[in-house]
Amino acid sequence: MEKTKLFLDGFAKGFGTIGKTVAEIINFVLLCIIYFVGIGLAYLFTKISGTTLIYLDKKNTKSYYKTQKIGKENIEEYYKQY
C-alpha cells in the first residue's frame, strides 16, 4: 500500500513537471510567433510610415521637458486602465 502510494505520488509529481515543461515550450513558441508576426509587422509599419515610438536620440532643443497638464479629471477617467 505504502509503495503504491509512493509510486502514485512520484508519478503525479513527474507528470506535473512534464506538464509544466510542455506548457513552457508552448508558451515560448507562441510568444515567438506573436513577437515575429505581431511586433515584426508593427515594426515594418513604423519603418514605412516613419513613425518614432520612443525618442532615443538627444534633441537639439533648449529644454527636454515635455509640457503637460496631468491633474484632476472626471471620475469616469479613473475607472479606465489607460
Partner 1 sequence: MHILGISCFYHDSSAALLQDGKIIAAAEEERFTRKKHDTRFPINAIKWCLEDAGITIEEIDYIGFYEKPLLKFERLMAQHVQMFPRSISMFLHSMPSWINEKLRVQSIIKKKLKYKGDILFVKHHLAHAASSYLASEFKEAAILTVDGVGEWETTTLGSAKDKEITLLKTIDFPHSLGLLYSTATAHLGFSVNNSEYKVMGLAPYGKPVYYDKFKKIIDVKEDGSYALDMSYFVYHYKMIMPSQKYLEELGPTRTADEQVTEHHKNLAASLQKITEDVLFKMLKHLHKITKSKNLCMAGGVALNSVANGKILKNTPFKNIYIQPAAGDGGTSIGVALYIYNTILGNERNYVLRDAYLGPRFESEEIQKFLDENKIKYEKFSNDAELVEKTAKLIYENNVIGWFQGRMEWGPRALGSRSILSNACNPKMQDVLNLKVKHREKFRPFAPVVCVEDADKYFECDKPIPLPTDFMLMVYPIKKEKRKLIPAVTHVDGSGRLQTIRKEQNHLYWGVIKEFGKFSGVPILINTSFNIRGEPIVCTPFDAYKCMMGTGIDYLIIDTFLVKRADNLSDVWDSEKYAKD
Nearer to partner 1, 14 or 38 (CB): 38
3-class secondary structure, 65: coil
Task: Tell me if 40 contacts partner 1 by CB under 8 A.
Answer: yes
Residue 19 CB, nearest distance to partner 1 (Å)?
Answer: 16
Q: Is residue 65 near partner 1 by the rule CB under 8 A?
A: yes
Q: Which three cell numbers stand for residue 1?
A: 500500500
Work out how close the CB of 54 gets to partner 1 at its nearest, in angstroms, rounded to a whole number.
5
> Is there binding between residue 64 and partner 1 (CB under 8 A)?
yes
When the beta carbons of 4 and 79 are compared against partner 1, the nearer one is 79
For the four alpha carbons of 11, 12, 16 and 17, in that order, the dihedral sign comes to negative
Told to check if 48 binds partner 1 by CB under 8 A, we report no
**DSSP-derived secondary structure letter, 38:** I
